[in-house]
Amino acid sequence: MVAAGRFAPGHLGELTQLVPFEMVDDALDRTGAVQSRVRLLPARVVVYLLLAGCLFAELGYVQVWHRLTAGLHGLAVATPTASALRQARQRLGATPLRALFDLLRGPAATTAAGAVSWRGLLVCAVDGTLMSVADSAANLTAVVKQRCNHGAGGYPTVRVLALVACGTRSVIDAVFGPASTGEPGYAARLAGSLRPGMLLLADRNFAAADLLTHLATTGADLLVRCKTGRRLPVRSRYPDGSYLSQLGSLAVRVIEAEISIVTSAGRRTGTYRLVTTLLDPHRYPAGELITLYHQRWEIETVYLELKSTILGGRVLRARTPAGIDQEIYALLVTYQVLRTAMTDATDTIPGLDPDRASFTIALHTARDQVIQAASIIADTVIDLVGAIGRRVLATLMPDRRVRTKPRIVKRAISKYNARGPDIDRTTYKATIEINILDTGP
C-alpha cells in the first residue's frame, strides 16, 4: 500500500515503516517546509527522494526517481525532469532533513545489554572523518581542498564528527562543517548529547584538558587515549597499577599498559596510556578498561559503512553548500534507519550480538524493497523483522575477530590517479596480551 495521488512516489520501501509519512510530515510542519499548494513534487515526496538517493548513491536523481516509481504499477505518476527535481530539492532546503535526523538519532534500542554496555555504562565513541564533495565554485566558497600526499589538490572536503553507540553502531549525534576546523573544535558541540550513564571513548586528538573538562560536566564518563610523553603528576597509586592524576582541573585516573598482538606472522608490541574519569579501581579494573578501549574502533566501521558501503568512495552530489547540508543529513538518516532495522532483527534472537548483522546485506535488501515498493505501510499483523531483517538473520556474519591493522578507506582524488605502496591485506588469527605498567615516581 502506498500514499494516494501525487504522494505515491514518496516512500522508502520497507524502511518507510521506520520513517513513516507522519514523521516526515511532522518534520516538514515544524520547520515550515510544507508546500503552500500540492505540486507535482510535494515536499514529503522530495524528502523520500533524498533518502532514496543515499540508497542509490551511484545514480542521478532522475534514475533514483525511476527506482521509486518502478513498483507503482497502474498508478499515474509524474515524470519530472532533472531540472524539476533540482528545483524541488532547493525549495525544500536542509532544515527538514536536520529535523528528521533529530527525531531518529540516538542509540538503537536492544535487549542485548552485554553487547552495548559495560558495567552499566553505555559504551560510546567520538571521532571525525573527511567527506569529499563536488568540486564546484559554489562549494569552494564554504569549504576548502585538502593537500594530498603527492602535492595535488584533491576534492573539497567537509569534516564530519559523530557520537556513536559502539554496540549497535547507531548514531547518537553528529556535527559537520569545513575541514579547516579540527575535530576538537567540533567535539564541544556534541556535549549536549552526552548523559550520565555513558562512557565516551576517544583517541589522542581529544585529550585536551579544557575539552575533557567540558565533556565531563555532562555527567558522562570518559576513557581517552593520551600521549605517553605528556607529564601527568602522580597523586596516589592504586593496586592495579593505575594512578590518580590531574588533567587541568579534572581529576583523572591514568592507566599505562604494554599491549602485544601475537599472530602467526609475528609479534607487535606498543604502549598505550589511557586517562579516565572512572576513579574507582575496584569497580572499574584497569585491565578491563584497556580491553574495552578496543571498542573505539567501532566508529571507524561506521565511517567505512557510510563512505565505502553506501557511497562507494564517491563524492557527494551536491554542488552548493546548502545542498551539502541537505545531503549529509539525508545520509545520516538513511544510515540510522538501516542500523535500526538491523538491530530490530538481531534483537529477536536472545543474546545475538548486533555485530553479526551485515550492513551490506541490509543495504542491498532495502534497495530491492524500494524498487518493488514493498511493505511501505505495515499490515494489521505487525512483522517485527520484515524482509530486511529476515535476510540479515539468514546471512549472519561470524563472531568478530581481533583487528590487527587499521582499515583503509580510499578517497577520491581529482585529476590525478596517485598510487601508493602496495598494502599487505593479509589477515591473521590474533591474540592480545596486556601488561599494566607501574610507571611514575
- At residue 316, the pLDDT reads 96
- pLDDT tens digits along 287-296: 999 999 999 9
User: 211: helix, coil or strand?
Assistant: helix
Residue 59's contacts (CB-CB under 8 Å, 6 or more residues apart) are 53, 67
- pLDDT tens digits along 377-433: 765 455 668 999 999 999 999 886 655 554 444 444 444 344 343 334 334 455 656
User: What is 105-258+267-304's CATH superfamily?
Assistant: Transposase Inhibitor Protein From Tn5; Chain A, domain 1 (3.90.350.10)
| Amino acid code (one letter) for 136 | S
Cα(175)–Cα(186) distance, integer angstroms: 7
In this prediction, residue 119 has a pLDDT band, given cuts at 50, 70 and 90, of: very high
| Amino acid code (one letter) for 422 | D
Across residues 78-95, what is the average pLDDT? 96
Grid cell digits, residue 94: 536542509
Q: Please report how the helices 321-346 and 386-394 are oriented relative to each other, as an axis angle in degrees rounded to 10.
A: 70
Residues linked to residue 147 through DSSP beta bridges, in sequence order: 153
> 273-294: buried (b, 16+ CB within 10 Å) or exposed (e) per residue?
bbbbbbeebeebbbeebbebbe
Q: What is the largest CA-CA distance in the chain?
A: 80
Q: Do the Cβ atoms of 199 and 124 come closer than 8 Å?
A: yes
Cα(187)–Cα(197) distance, integer angstroms: 19
Q: How many CA atoms lie within 13 A of 70 on its CB side?
A: 17
Nearest to 358 by CA among 380, 373, 338, 337: 338
Helix ranges (H only) for 269-418 are 286-292, 298-304, 321-346, 359-372, 386-394
Residues linked to residue 182 through DSSP beta bridges, in sequence order: none
β-strand pairing of 121-132 with 198-202: parallel
- Does 176 score more than 50 pLDDT? yes
pTM: 0.90
- Does 221 score more than 70 pLDDT? yes
Residues of the chain with CATH 3.90.350.10: 105-258+267-304
- At residue 433, the pLDDT reads 66
